[in-house]
Amino acid sequence: MNTASDTKRLSWELPDAIWQRMEACIPPKRGKEGHPRTVNLRRITEGIFYVLRTGIQWQACPRERFGPPSTVYYYFAQWVKAGVFAELWAEALAVYDDLKGLEWTWQSVDGALTKAPLGERPRAPIPRTVASVGRNAVC
Protein backbone atom coordinates (compact mmCIF):
# COMPACT_ATOMS: atom_id res chain seq x y z
CA MET A 1 0.00 0.00 0.00
CA ASN A 2 3.07 2.25 -0.03
CA THR A 3 3.00 4.75 -2.83
CA ALA A 4 5.90 6.71 -4.28
CA SER A 5 4.89 9.75 -2.19
CA ASP A 6 4.92 7.64 1.00
CA THR A 7 8.52 6.55 0.46
CA LYS A 8 9.66 10.15 -0.04
CA ARG A 9 7.84 11.46 3.04
CA LEU A 10 10.03 12.66 5.89
CA SER A 11 9.44 11.13 9.32
CA TRP A 12 7.65 14.21 10.69
CA GLU A 13 5.36 14.72 7.69
CA LEU A 14 1.87 13.41 8.28
CA PRO A 15 0.03 11.23 5.78
CA ASP A 16 -3.51 12.42 5.01
CA ALA A 17 -5.11 9.49 6.87
CA ILE A 18 -3.21 10.24 10.08
CA TRP A 19 -3.89 13.96 9.81
CA GLN A 20 -7.63 13.32 9.48
CA ARG A 21 -7.59 11.23 12.66
CA MET A 22 -5.51 13.79 14.52
CA GLU A 23 -7.57 16.72 13.33
CA ALA A 24 -10.61 15.12 14.94
CA CYS A 25 -8.73 15.03 18.29
CA ILE A 26 -7.76 18.73 18.23
CA PRO A 27 -10.05 20.83 20.42
CA PRO A 28 -11.91 23.62 18.60
CA LYS A 29 -11.13 27.27 19.25
CA ARG A 30 -12.92 28.46 22.36
CA GLY A 31 -15.41 31.25 21.89
CA LYS A 32 -15.80 33.67 19.03
CA GLU A 33 -13.89 36.48 20.72
CA GLY A 34 -10.32 37.39 19.96
CA HIS A 35 -8.40 36.91 16.76
CA PRO A 36 -9.57 34.22 14.36
CA ARG A 37 -7.23 31.27 14.02
CA THR A 38 -4.98 32.02 11.04
CA VAL A 39 -2.35 29.31 11.44
CA ASN A 40 -2.29 26.11 9.43
CA LEU A 41 -2.74 23.46 12.12
CA ARG A 42 -1.30 20.71 9.92
CA ARG A 43 1.87 22.75 9.46
CA ILE A 44 2.02 23.39 13.21
CA THR A 45 1.52 19.67 13.90
CA GLU A 46 4.35 18.76 11.55
CA GLY A 47 6.51 21.32 13.38
CA ILE A 48 5.70 19.64 16.69
CA PHE A 49 6.64 16.22 15.30
CA TYR A 50 9.78 17.73 13.75
CA VAL A 51 10.97 18.99 17.13
CA LEU A 52 10.08 15.73 18.87
CA ARG A 53 11.67 13.60 16.16
CA THR A 54 14.93 15.55 15.76
CA GLY A 55 15.36 16.64 19.38
CA ILE A 56 16.18 20.24 18.52
CA GLN A 57 15.21 23.11 20.78
CA TRP A 58 11.81 24.68 20.22
CA GLN A 59 13.37 28.01 19.27
CA ALA A 60 15.49 26.28 16.59
CA CYS A 61 12.39 25.00 14.76
CA PRO A 62 12.57 26.27 11.14
CA ARG A 63 10.23 29.27 10.97
CA GLU A 64 9.90 29.26 7.18
CA ARG A 65 8.68 25.66 7.15
CA PHE A 66 6.53 25.36 10.29
CA GLY A 67 5.77 28.91 11.39
CA PRO A 68 6.97 30.80 14.46
CA PRO A 69 8.60 28.46 17.01
CA SER A 70 6.66 30.11 19.84
CA THR A 71 3.39 29.28 18.05
CA VAL A 72 4.48 25.68 17.49
CA TYR A 73 5.33 25.34 21.18
CA TYR A 74 2.11 27.10 22.24
CA TYR A 75 -0.02 24.55 20.39
CA PHE A 76 2.11 21.67 21.70
CA ALA A 77 1.60 22.80 25.30
CA GLN A 78 -2.13 23.37 24.77
CA TRP A 79 -2.63 19.98 23.13
CA VAL A 80 -0.67 18.15 25.84
CA LYS A 81 -2.87 19.82 28.45
CA ALA A 82 -6.01 18.90 26.47
CA GLY A 83 -4.88 15.25 26.11
CA VAL A 84 -4.67 15.30 22.30
CA PHE A 85 -1.50 13.20 22.13
CA ALA A 86 -2.75 10.69 24.72
CA GLU A 87 -5.97 10.30 22.72
CA LEU A 88 -4.02 9.89 19.49
CA TRP A 89 -1.77 7.27 21.12
CA ALA A 90 -4.78 5.31 22.39
CA GLU A 91 -6.34 5.43 18.93
CA ALA A 92 -3.08 4.27 17.33
CA LEU A 93 -2.92 1.33 19.74
CA ALA A 94 -6.50 0.39 18.89
CA VAL A 95 -5.73 0.48 15.14
CA TYR A 96 -2.60 -1.61 15.63
CA ASP A 97 -4.56 -4.06 17.77
CA ASP A 98 -7.08 -4.45 14.95
CA LEU A 99 -4.34 -4.95 12.33
CA LYS A 100 -1.77 -7.09 14.15
CA GLY A 101 -3.22 -7.80 17.56
CA LEU A 102 -1.77 -6.86 20.92
CA GLU A 103 -1.36 -9.23 23.85
CA TRP A 104 -2.85 -6.98 26.51
CA THR A 105 -2.40 -9.49 29.35
CA TRP A 106 1.38 -9.76 28.98
CA GLN A 107 3.78 -6.99 29.90
CA SER A 108 7.53 -6.74 30.13
CA VAL A 109 9.72 -4.30 32.00
CA ASP A 110 13.43 -4.02 31.42
CA GLY A 111 15.94 -2.41 33.71
CA ALA A 112 19.35 -2.78 35.30
CA LEU A 113 20.91 -1.70 38.56
CA THR A 114 24.67 -1.47 38.84
CA LYS A 115 27.18 0.26 41.03
CA ALA A 116 28.44 3.55 39.69
CA PRO A 117 31.82 2.98 38.02
CA LEU A 118 33.54 5.76 39.97
CA GLY A 119 31.81 4.97 43.23
CA GLU A 120 34.04 4.42 46.25
CA ARG A 121 34.03 4.72 50.02
CA PRO A 122 32.91 8.14 51.18
CA ARG A 123 35.82 10.32 52.16
CA ALA A 124 36.21 11.77 55.63
CA PRO A 125 34.30 14.99 56.13
CA ILE A 126 36.22 18.20 55.66
CA PRO A 127 36.71 19.82 59.07
CA ARG A 128 34.97 23.13 59.54
CA THR A 129 37.08 26.09 60.43
CA VAL A 130 35.66 28.52 62.92
CA ALA A 131 36.86 32.07 63.16
CA SER A 132 38.54 32.60 66.47
CA VAL A 133 37.83 35.64 68.57
CA GLY A 134 41.39 36.18 69.63
CA ARG A 135 43.67 39.14 69.69
CA ASN A 136 44.26 38.93 65.91
CA ALA A 137 40.56 39.18 65.06
CA VAL A 138 39.54 42.28 63.18
CA CYS A 139 36.06 43.62 63.68
Residue type, 81: K
Label residue 99 by pLDDT band (50, 70, 90). Answer: confident
Would you state the pLDDT for residue 1?
46
Would you state the pLDDT for residue 79?
92
Residue type, 131: A
- pTM to 2 decimals? 0.64
Could you give the CA distance from residue 41 to residue 23 in angstroms, rounded to a whole number? Answer: 8
DSSP assignment string, 1-31: ---HHHHH--TTSPPHHHHHHHHHHSPPPPS
Tell me the mean pLDDT in the region 86-96. Answer: 86
DSSP assignment string, 88-125: HHHHHHHHHHHHT---TT-----------TT--PPPPP
Would you state the pLDDT for residue 30?
77
11-15, 66-70, 75-79: least confidently modelled range: 11-15
Locate the domains of the chain by residue range: 12-25+38-99
Label residue 132 by pLDDT band (50, 70, 90). Answer: low
Tell me the mean pLDDT in the region 53-66. Answer: 92
